[in-house]
Homo-oligomer: A and B are copies of this chain.
Amino acid sequence: MRKYVLAFLLGYVTIQPSLAQSPETLRIRQYHQQHADTIIGEFVQLLSLPNIASNPIGLQKNADFIMAMMAKRDIHNIQLLPTKTSGAAPAVYGEVKVPGAKQTLIFYAHYDGQPVNPSQWAKGIEPFTPTLLSAALDKDGTKIPFPTDGIFNPEWRIYGRGASDDKAGVAAILNAYDAIVKSGLTPTCNLKFFFEGEEEAGSTHLNDILEANTTLLSSDLWLICDGPVHQTGKKQISFGVRGDAHLDLTIYASKRPLHSGHYGNWAPNPAMMLAKLLASMKNDAGRVTIKGFYDDVVPFTAAEKKALAAVPSVDAQMKRELGISSSEMTGLSLSEAINQPSLNINGMQSGNVGKLASNQIPTFATAVLDLRLVLGNDWQRQQQKVIDHIKAQGYFVIDHEPTDAERATHAKIIKIIAGNDGYNAQRTSMDLPIAKHVIAAVQATTSDQIVLQPSMGGSLPLFLFEKYLNAKTISVPIANHDNNQHAENENIRLKNLFEGIETMASLMMMK
């Protein structure tokens, strides 16, 4: 409190970042502390609804529940935005018109979650039975009952699929609006709410939904509430995402598995061929050696460079946490490295290993490559650079199982499937007036310096918003960084949920 008073006395009036918490934030905080029981109760109900792509009825129940959450909050024009394809999960829409507002913000989150394998979850924790723990599992957290006195320790965590990715986003956004209204405050912008139901399944129909609703979804800015805050625990804003593209490689050797004694040294080994091919793509300093791989990259602006330089280093912390002692691209920090195009092996396989290994020469070897792209890269051109490199290593490139004629003619045969689900990077300028308002609004909720990321390392198809709606996007994530997103034992730290409500509320009231 003292800090805020000081900041106020010093002239807390501009939209420049300040290390003080706004009076509005304090009002919102008071609200969620007094109503924690209701907020958590509703959140637990939402987490109890299975939300995986293979369960469309479950997804529909989630959408219905969110519509009811909106109706309870007196949000208007509530509706499902279905896709053209029957059966795909609809988006849930609602809006609030604010008298005198000059801008419109759309808040995005998604209510679907990644598939679950309950057997991989910790004992006593079921993906769709939200469970309260005293701390993180790997910090000796134990199961505790939900409190009856309405007092929640902010270090407690709720475990369950979607707890942080991304039902926390839905809850933070809707409770933020609730908190504003019930605290006697007023949003400064018109608000729209868009909750997707197909994000974890690749947003396959998002383009349909956007294209069919261009007027309904018009806005000055999309605010994407998805993902974790900075590894330091500080709040962060991401102004962009890397693009993504894939390549599936399969090298063919003998048609049948061969006895490694009778044919070893003579019959080509596809695992060794793949190893040599992959090894040719990167040098020992972690740089991709494929011709032109780092071309096309649009340099950072002065503001972006300044922001990047100010990102707190978590390299030492993350190395400790992950049990590694060096990084791949030598000489680059984590935030520098993830702002470069990358080539990563997601998986590779040939023959069998461990107890299944036998004295054989395998018939084929396969690898999946994941290419991350930065602004300026075209995802198909980036795929083509890799394909050209493979050709330059002497490979005959095909898109099918090799025929006998092809086998007879070419010593090195590779099938390449260039994934058609790629997309480019997206970056919103940090210099835009609205970007500065977003920065100020988030900074107004915390006395820690917030982290500004010109781009996150991960990818989201944010280009769709630009393509179909000509819209800008900025990501404001709220989850703890150790939330086990996409994996077993997903969880949200309560402090992150509550602070997320404060962040979303501040954005709705941004100057």
Interfacial residues, chain A to chain B (CB-CB below 8 A): 242, 244, 248, 252-269, 271-272, 274-276, 278-280, 282, 284, 286, 319-320, 322-329, 332-334, 337-338, 340, 342, 344-354, 356-362, 365-368, 370, 372, 402, 404, 407-411, 456-459, 485-487
In the complex the two chains form, is A265's CB within 8 Å of B286's CB?
Answer: yes
A44 to B457, CA, bound (A): 65
Known A265-B340, A347-B353; 13 more pairs at CB < 8 Å: A248-B357, A259-B486, A261-B372, A262-B458, A265-B328, A265-B332, A265-B372, A272-B279, A324-B407, A325-B408, A325-B409, A348-B365, A349-B350
Q: Which of B269, B286, B345 contacts A345 (CB 8 A)?
A: B269
Smallest beta-carbon distance A327→chain B, Å: 5
Q: Which of B253, B271, B324, B348 contacts A254 (CB 8 A)?
A: B324
Q: Which residue of B lies closest to A460 (CB)?
A: B261
Q: What are some 30 contacts across the A-B interface (CB < 8 A)?
A: A244-B359, A248-B354, A254-B324, A258-B322, A260-B370, A261-B457, A261-B458, A261-B459, A264-B344, A265-B286, A265-B329, A265-B372, A265-B457, A266-B332, A267-B327, A267-B328, A268-B324, A268-B327, A271-B345, A271-B367, A272-B278, A275-B275, A275-B279, A275-B345, A319-B408, A325-B407, A326-B411, A346-B357, A346-B362, A348-B365
Q: Which residue on B lies nearest to A393, using beta carbons?
A: B284
The answer for the CA separation of A324 and B282 in the assembled complex, in Å, is 28
Q: Closest CB-CB distance, A321 to chain B, in whole Å?
A: 8
With contact pairs A345-B271, A347-B362, A351-B346 given, residues A410 and B264 touching in the complex (Cβ less than 8 Å): no
CB <8 Å contact, A328 and B262: no
Q: Decide if A367 touches B353 in the complex (CB within 8 Å).
A: yes
* In contact, B352 and A347 (Cβ under 8 angstroms): yes
Contact of A260 (CB < 8 Å), options: B255, B271, B346: B346
Please name all residues of chain B whose beta carbon is closer than 8 Å to the beta carbon of A322 when the two chains form the complex.
254-256, 258, 267
Give every chain B residue within 8 A of A357 (Cβ-Cβ): 248, 346-347, 368
Output the nearest chain B residue to A257 by Cβ-Cβ distance.
B487
Residues of B within 8 A of A370 (CB): 260, 264, 359
- Is there an interface contact between A268 and B348, defined as CB atoms closer than 8 Å? no
Residues in B with CB closer than 8 Å to A252 are: 323
- The residue of chain B having its C-beta at the shortest distance from the C-beta of A410 within the complex is B325
The complex places the Cα of A258 from the Cα of B231 at a distance, in Å, of 14
Q: Separation in Å of the A379 CB from the closest CB of chain B? A: 14
User: In this complex, what residue of B is CB-closest to A315?
Assistant: B266
Residue of B nearest to A413 (CB): B325
A384 CB, min distance to chain B CBs, angstroms: 20
The CA of A359 and the CA of B372, in the complex, are separated in Å by: 10
B269 lies within 8 A of A328 (CB): yes
Please list the 9 inter-chain residue pairs (A to B) with the smallest Cβ-Cβ separation, ordered nearest first: A347-B351, A261-B458, A279-B279, A326-B411, A275-B278, A271-B345, A266-B337, A323-B407, A265-B337
Q: How far is the CB of A54 from chain B (nearest CB, A)?
A: 14
| Given A282-B272, A345-B350, A348-B271, A323 and B254 contact (CB-CB distance below 8 Å) | yes
Do the beta carbons of A271 and B347 come within 8 Å of each other?
Answer: yes
Query: Smallest Cβ distance from A346 to chain B, in angstroms?
Result: 5
Tell me the smallest distance from the CB of A243 to a CB of chain B, in Å: 10
Is B348 touching A351 in the complex (CB atoms < 8 A)? yes
A263 and B368 contact, CB distance less than 8 A: no
- Residues of B near A264 (CB, < 8 A) are 338, 342, 344, 370, 372, 457
In the complex, A8 Cα to B36 Cα: how many Å?
107
Known A282-B272, A323-B404, A324-B407; contact A259-B458, beta-carbon cutoff 8 A: yes
- How far, in whole Å, are A490 and B162 apart by their CA atoms in the complex? 52
CA gap between A63 and B406 in the complex, in Å: 49
Q: How far is the CB of A358 from chain B (nearest CB, A)?
A: 7
Residues of B close to A327: CB separation below 8 A? 266-268
With known contacts A271-B345, A329-B265, A350-B345, A324–B253 Cβ distance under 8 A: yes
Most buried by B among A248, A278, A326: A278
Can you name the residue of chain B whose Cβ is closest to the Cβ of A394? B284
Across the interface, which residues of B come within 8 angstroms of A279, CB to CB? 272, 275-276, 278-280
B-side contacts of A354, CB under 8 Å: 248, 366, 368
- Give the distance to chain B from A284, nearest Cβ to Cβ, in Å: 8
Q: A276 to chain B: closest CB distance in Å?
A: 4
Bound complex: CA of A272 vs CA of B367, how far in Å? 11
A408 to B319 alpha-carbon distance, docked (Å):
8
CB of A359 within 8 A of CB of B338, answer no
Closest CB in chain B relative to A287 CB, distance in Å: 9
Chain B residues in 8 Å Cβ range of A256 = 322
Interface centre among A332, A353, A409, by most B CB within 10 Å?
A: A353
Chain B hits for A349, CB < 8 A: 348-350, 353
